[in-house]
Structure 1
Amino acid sequence: MISPIVKVEGLTVLRGRYAALENVSFEIPTGSSAAIVGPNGSGKSTLVQAVLDLIPKASGTIEILGRPIRRLGNLRSQIGYMPQNFIFDRSFPISVAELVALGQSGGYKKAAISEALQRVNAYHLWDQAIGTLSGGELKRVLLAYCLVTPRKLLVLDEAFAEVDVQGEAEFFDLLNELRQEENWTVLQVSHDLDMVNRHCDFVLCLNRSLICTGKPEIALSRDNLLQTYGSGFSRYRHQH
């Protein structure tokens, strides 16, 4: 039996005295394309940040790649992360190729940068300053940043939220293609239930506590969505 790539047990995260997450437990199957869904304020981004040890937890255990998150050591380089908002000084003089190079481990390798940019259809941006990129171009470059070093897990926090519908579909297709070629596991936060249903094979429904997990046809059932989003929920394509 293949071990889960992410294992969380009894996770609680506090914001002051408020429980942003309460007693959350789940396992992410290795090799899956997993999505976390839920209403605004349900703790989706908090969960991702806690799993990556970016924020403190009140209680619970987190394992990635079979190790406690605090004892990953060099294995951290096998985890790629694309945040919801990549905040940077747009006047900073760094090119696309230079940014992607920062994602490398083991020294500068121009061929690896070239291959990563080609695979995300962004090679033509090589010399362009990152401050001049459109939102969609920047997402592709950040994906190349994650691709330039071998990874086991890619975590995305609403990374495609500002991309138009066609662009979002293209990114989902590209992610699945890379996942299969690179043997990645993908864990992402998404508001788009239609895209999740079509492109993901494992879903976590969250509203401060975990409502359910499973394949999309089970997790995204009407009863589970009503429990996750509330009685006023209407399944609408884009819920940004």
Structure 2
Amino acid sequence: MSADVLVVDGLTVYRDTYAAVQDVSFALAEGTDMAIVGPNGAGKSTLIQSILGILPRRTGAVSVMGQSLSGRGYLPAPVRHQIAYLPQNFLFDRRIPITVNELVALGWDDLGLKLPWANHRPRRLAVRQALDRVDAFHLGPQPIARLSGGEMKRALLAYCLVRPRRLLILDEAPAGLDVRSESEFYRLLYQLKQEQGWAILQISHDLDMVRKHCDRVLCLNRSIRCQGTPNDALSPDNLAAVYGSDFVPYRHRH
């Protein structure tokens, strides 16, 4: 039986004066891909950010790899380094002169950040290998300001690969990509999942992708409305309960 990488118990998170997430409980086992689905404003990103310790929780507990998230949102460094997070939008000042190599190197470790890029051979090797795994080795010297959306997603996946991870969290990571680039992103993501054994927790609006690739689904509209396998959770009755009776799913073929 697979061990649980993430356990959320009775989590409630407030934004201003209202409960954006209320009494949410679930567990994510190693090697499992769980999608969080629900309408806009359902609390999906709030849930992710609270799990990561970015937003404080009002009540409940979060445990990652057996370590409890502290009241201040801290996890021990050895646990924190086994988590990778890909946000919906990677916002940065394009005037910052940082290359893809340097961006991916940020995922190495706290010690590596204190050493000059050119003088840290193990880190340089890890960055090169990570970029090679996502077919982006040629992008290494490029300034990130010159990257296309698809190239940036590859660079961020390389960031996730630069050191061993057990948990990958994605907040609509393919957002902004065209259909071809999105399809390529998912192909690469699930190839890497099989190779690396990642547990994945991802927010998605693409129900066809969820049905095709994900192992578990969490239907959220501030509270959990249903959870289970894609076939069970994404039934017409459940979708109507989560999204409303007028919901018509968009058919998106990869």
Question: Into which bin does the TM-score normalised by the smaller protein fall?
Answer: over 0.9
Mapped to 2, the partners of 1:168 and 1:218 lie a distance apart of: 26
Corresponding residue for residue 86 of structure 1 = 90
Describe the superposition over 1:77-124 as per-residue Cα deviations: whole angstroms up to 9, x where unpaired. 000001111111101111111111111025342221111111111111
2:244 equivalent to 1:230: yes
2:204 equivalent to 1:190: yes
Corresponding residue for residue 4 of structure 2 = 4
Local SS of the residue matching 1:5: strand
RMSD, matched Cα: 1.2
Between Structure 1 and Structure 2, how many residues are aligned? 238
Query: In terms of mean alpha carbon deviation, does 58-67 or 161-170 score higher?
Result: 161-170
Corresponding residue for residue 160 of structure 1 = 174
2:75 equivalent to 1:72: yes
Mapped to 2, the partners of 1:19 and 1:177 lie a distance apart of: 37
Corresponding residue for residue 56 of structure 1 = 56
Describe the superposition over 1:214-240 as per-residue Cα deviations: whole angstroms up to 9, x where unpaired. 1111111111111110111011125xx
Equivalent position amino acid for 2:146 in 1: T
Equivalent position amino acid for 2:2 in 1: I
* CA-CA distance at 1:2 after TM superposition: 2.7
Corresponding residue for residue 117 of structure 2 = none
Equivalent position amino acid for 1:104 in 2: W
Describe the superposition over 1:189-221 as per-residue Cα deviations: whole angstroms up to 9, x where unpaired. 111111111111111110000011111111111
Runs of 4+ in 1 over 3 A off after TM superposition: none
Query: Which of 159, 170, 191 in structure 1 is aligned with 2:184?
Result: 170
Mapped to 2, the partners of 1:52 and 1:99 lie a distance apart of: 20
Mapped to 2, the partners of 1:172 and 1:187 lie a distance apart of: 14
Equivalent position amino acid for 1:73 in 2: P
Mapped to 1, the partners of 2:75 and 2:92 lie a distance apart of: 28
Mapped to 1, the partners of 2:69 and 2:184 lie a distance apart of: 32
Q: Is the 8 A contact 2:219 2:226 kept in 1?
A: yes
Local SS of the residue matching 2:92: coil
Local SS of the residue matching 2:212: helix
Corresponding residue for residue 151 of structure 2 = 137
TM-score by length of 1: 0.95
Give 5+ residue unaligned stretches, structure 1. Answer: none
Corresponding residue for residue 22 of structure 1 = 22
Give 5+ residue unaligned stretches, structure 2. Answer: 113-119
Q: Is the 8 A contact 1:117 1:141 kept in 2?
A: yes
Q: Is the 8 A contact 1:173 1:199 kept in 2?
A: no
Q: Is the 8 A contact 1:78 1:151 kept in 2?
A: yes
Equivalent position amino acid for 1:154 in 2: L
Mapped to 2, the partners of 1:215 and 1:166 lie a distance apart of: 27
Q: Is the 8 A contact 1:33 1:176 kept in 2?
A: no
* CA-CA distance at 1:23 after TM superposition: 0.7
Equivalent position amino acid for 1:231 in 2: S
Equivalent position amino acid for 1:46 in 2: T
